[in-house]
């Protein structure tokens, strides 16, 4: 059967999307009383918000402070008195987000006592509901599951699913690797501790522990790739939605990660490495800023302190393992935005003002002696082929797109081919275009929480609302059924090598064959 050409045109199409207001089974009998749930650690009291039971700031591990700083998470202590779960816990210690001028900024209480999660449940009684666990982005140096951007209220209310968001350690506290001092990959281990808590407790909140979907964006998508590749981790979930995964570079070698840690100790002026457990958090963050400055001045593109190939969480590049078949039993939806790198490059004067020499230098770094041939191909592909946009498109492919394509190509002939999408709807701000993070408010359906996002300034309210209805429902259907298709959207086929179907989300929503041009473009080199 040929590729369907059915399309959904957004402008003025709101009335055709009829799923809003869908409800799952009713909450507990008394709709007015605060919900109380007995977890395995003790009882907690939440709050009801327009038909959804919400529980905030639930500890899933001991606070990683004092002797537990840089250590793997440990199970939380029990409590006997009902614990208030109506307020979010603090976010992990971090500096200013690199994308604040794109997404908007936030100023929230911070603490090392940050290992908490939040739950939105539309059904505390009745048949168990599918569960979505959200892993936030932030370049693994910032962000939090408690940000209003990731409120699960709309997904719970409109889709009848239980939504869980998680806080975990970021930056040096989440990734420093120094044998005997810091385990490395604490960020990933925090997530696993949360998954185990969810497995053991989510049924008490109306969720089905046998139907858990991991969803994550950017650094969160990178984390999901690691969990898919790890045989022990992937036992804890059943489906995955991977949005704009930052998987272009593999984890650091132990030697490289340890060398970074020693540079960090030097900046902190510590003669004895173990003294780092007593350094004030503010000093740790200030030293991290200086470490980043030194890395950038030396031409290093990746941020210091990332995932490390420790032989426990990581066993090499997880993408290679997924391509070889790891996690093939998990239903998968994956995609990118068209212009991912514009979110970082839009305020980088070196990129904004780049000339042809700068472009050729970067292409040569990626493609070597074939740089001219690849550069000519990029210029033929993109009508906006100014130096700035050529660098945006190159970095988008390098860091996000190409390894995502490798994953779906490998899955194409399996029993569970993946669903591939691309988000093309452009920001009204031209230099952002369809940048990294722009799809987030559309998938969560909570634009009221993005009112200060520069990337959405001057957007057409009707257009974004209708596109959000279509995307939000696709995410819900995948979480519930492993298939994102629904009546308000053009048919979306899984990615197969004969057609390479990609669902393009834009002012027109349509399935497109081989949107990335895999069949006719020059092969992407191994890197």
Query: Does residue 477 have an active-site annotation?
Result: no
Q: Break the chain down into helix, strand, coil percent, rounded to 5.
A: 35, 15, 45
Helix or strand (DSSP H, E) at 131: strand 129-135
297 a catalytic residue: no
Stronger pLDDT, 21 or 475, i.e. the higher one: 475
Q: 92, 79, 96, 5: which is closest to 38 by C-alpha?
A: 79
Mean pLDDT, residues 144-170 taken together: 97
Mean pLDDT of the chain: 92
CA dihedral 367, 377, 384, 138 (to 10 degrees): -40
- pLDDT at position 296 is 81
Give the pLDDT confidence score for residue 315 in this predicted structure: 94
User: What does the pLDDT read at residue 301?
Assistant: 64
Report the pLDDT value the prediction gives residue 297, as an integer from 0 to 100.
Answer: 78
Query: Tell me: the pLDDT tens digits for 373-427?
Result: 999 999 999 988 899 999 999 999 999 999 999 999 999 988 899 999 999 999 9
Query: Which of 238, 393, 436, 469 is the catalytic position?
Result: 436
Section 212-240 average pLDDT: 97
Do 474 and 25 form a contact (C-beta atoms < 8 A)?
no
Report whether pLDDT(21) > 80.
no
Q: Mean of the pLDDT values across residues 499-521? A: 96
Measured between alpha carbons, how far is 141 from 393 in angstroms, rounded to an integer? 24
218 is catalytic: yes
The 3-state secondary structure of 305-338 reads: CCCECCCCCCCCCHHHHHHCCCCCCCEEEEEEEC
pLDDT band at 23 (very low <50, low <70, confident <90, very high): very low
pLDDT at 384: 85
Return the residue matching tokens 């596109």: 467
Angle between helices 387-396 and 371-381 (to 10 degrees): 100
In sign, the C-alpha dihedral spanning 134, 137, 140, 143 is negative
pLDDT digits (tens, 9 = 90+) for 268-309: 999 899 999 999 999 999 999 999 999 887 766 667 899 999
Q: Domain boundaries in the chain?
A: 8-244+307-351+385-513
Between the alpha carbon of residue 185 and those of residues 313, 346, 450, the distances in Å are 7, 30, 31
CA nearest neighbour of 64 among 195, 163, 170:
170
Choose the catalytic residue: 340, 397, 409, 477.
Answer: 340
pLDDT of residue 346: 95
- State the average pLDDT over residues 41-54: 96
Alpha helices in 382-423 (DSSP H): 387-396, 402-411
Mean pLDDT calculated for residue range 337-344: 97
Model confidence at 215: pLDDT above 90: yes
Decide: 405 and 519 in contact? Cβ < 8 Å: no
Domain 8-244+307-351+385-513 has what CATH class?
alpha beta
User: Over 90: is that where the pLDDT of 494 sits?
Assistant: yes
What pLDDT, in 10s, does the model give residues 184-198?
A: 999 999 999 999 999
132: part of which helix (H) or strand (E)?
strand 129-135
In the chain, pLDDT over 90 holds for what percent of residues? 88
Confidence of residue 26 (pLDDT cuts 50, 70, 90): very low
Rounded CA-CA distance 300/223 in Å is 22
What tokens appear for 205 in the block?
A: 């909140």
Is residue 524 within a helix (H) or strand (E), and if so which, with residue range? none
Q: How far apart are CA 223 and CA 58, in angstroms?
A: 22
Using the predicted structure, report yes or no on whether residue 371 has a pLDDT greater than 50.
yes
Q: What is the pLDDT of residue 15?
A: 34
- Among the options 97, 218, 244, 404, which is catalytic? 218
Give the DSSP letter of residue 87.
Answer: S
Q: Let me know how many helices (H) and strands (E) the chain has, helices first.
A: 16, 17
Q: At what angle do helices 186-201 and 219-229 cross, to 10 degrees?
A: 70
Residue 335: count of CB within 10 angstroms of its CB = 25
Q: Where is average pLDDT lowest: 91-100, 123-132, 290-299, 446-455? A: 290-299
> Which whole number is the average pLDDT over 217-234?
97
pLDDT band at 19 (very low <50, low <70, confident <90, very high): very low
Which helix or strand (DSSP H or E) is residue 240 part of?
strand 239-243
Question: Average pLDDT, stretch 195-211?
Answer: 98
pLDDT tens sequence across 61-73 = 999 999 999 999 9
pLDDT at residue number 383:
87
Identify the pLDDT of residue 512.
97
pLDDT at residue 20 is higher than 70: no
């Amino acid at each position: 059967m040929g590729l369907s050409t059915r399309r959904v045109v957004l402008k003025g199409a709101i009335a055709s999307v009829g799923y809003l207001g869908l409800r799952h089974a009713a909450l507990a009998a008394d709709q007015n009383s605060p919900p109380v749930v007995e977890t395995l650690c003790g009882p907690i009291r939440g709050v009801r918000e327009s038909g959804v039971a919400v529980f905030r700031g639930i500890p899933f591990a001991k606070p990683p402070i004092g002797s537990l700083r840089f250590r793997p998470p440990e199970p939380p202590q029990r409590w006997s008195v009902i614990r208030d779960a109506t307020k979010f816990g603090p976010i992990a210690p971090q500096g200013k987000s690199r994308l604040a001028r794109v997404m908007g900024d936030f100023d929230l209480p911070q603490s090392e006592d940050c290992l908490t999660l939040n739950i939105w449940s539309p059904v505390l009684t009745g048949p168990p509901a599918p569960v979505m666990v959200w892993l936030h982005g932030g370049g693994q140096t910032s962000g939090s599951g408690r940000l209003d951007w990731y409120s699960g209220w709309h997904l719970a209310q409109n889709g009848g699913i239980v939504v869980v968001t998680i806080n975990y350690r970021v930056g040096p506290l989440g990734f420093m690797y120094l044998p005997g001092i810091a385990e490395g990959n604490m960020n990933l281990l925090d997530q696993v501790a949360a998954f185990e808590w969810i497995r053991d407790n989510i049924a008490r909140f109306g969720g089905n522990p046998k139907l858990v979907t991991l969803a994550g964006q950017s650094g969160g998508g990178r984390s999901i790739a690691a969990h898919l590749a790890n045989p022990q981790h992937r036992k804890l979930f059943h489906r995955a939605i991977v949005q704009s995964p930052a998987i272009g570079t593999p984890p650091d070698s132990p030697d490289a990660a340890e060398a970074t840690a020693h540079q960090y100790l030097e900046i902190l002026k510590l003669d004895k490495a173990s003294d780092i457990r007593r350094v004030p958090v503010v000093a740790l963050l200030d030293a991290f800023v200086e470490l980043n400055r030194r890395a950038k001045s030396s031409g290093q593109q990746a941020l210091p302190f990332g995932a490390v190939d420790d032989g426990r969480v990581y066993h090499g590049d997880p993408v290679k393992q997924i391509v070889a078949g790891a996690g093939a039993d998990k239903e998968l939806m994956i995609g990118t935005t068209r212009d991912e790198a514009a979110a970082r490059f839009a305020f980088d004067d070196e990129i904004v003002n780049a000339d042809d020499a700068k472009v050729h230098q970067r292409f040569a770094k990626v493609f070597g002696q074939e740089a001219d041939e690849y550069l000519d191909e990029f210029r033929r592909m993109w009508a906006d082929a100014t130096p700035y946009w050529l660098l945006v498109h190159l970095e988008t492919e390098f860091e996000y797109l190409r390894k995502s394509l490798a994953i779906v190509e490998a899955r194409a002939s399996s029993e569970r081919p993946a669903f591939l999408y691309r988000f093309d709807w452009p920001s009204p701000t031209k230099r952002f275009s369809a940048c990294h993070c722009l799809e987030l408010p559309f998938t969560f359906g909570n634009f009221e929480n993005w009112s200060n996002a520069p990337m959405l300034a001057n957007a057409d309210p009707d257009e974004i609302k209708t596109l959000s209805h279509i995307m939000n429902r696709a995410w819900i259907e995948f979480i519930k059924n492993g298939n994102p298709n629904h009546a308000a959207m053009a048919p979306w086929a899984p990615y197969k090598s004969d057609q390479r179907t990609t669902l393009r989300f834009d002012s027109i929503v349509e399935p497109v064959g081989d949107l990335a041009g895999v069949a006719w473009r020059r092969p992407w080199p191994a890197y």
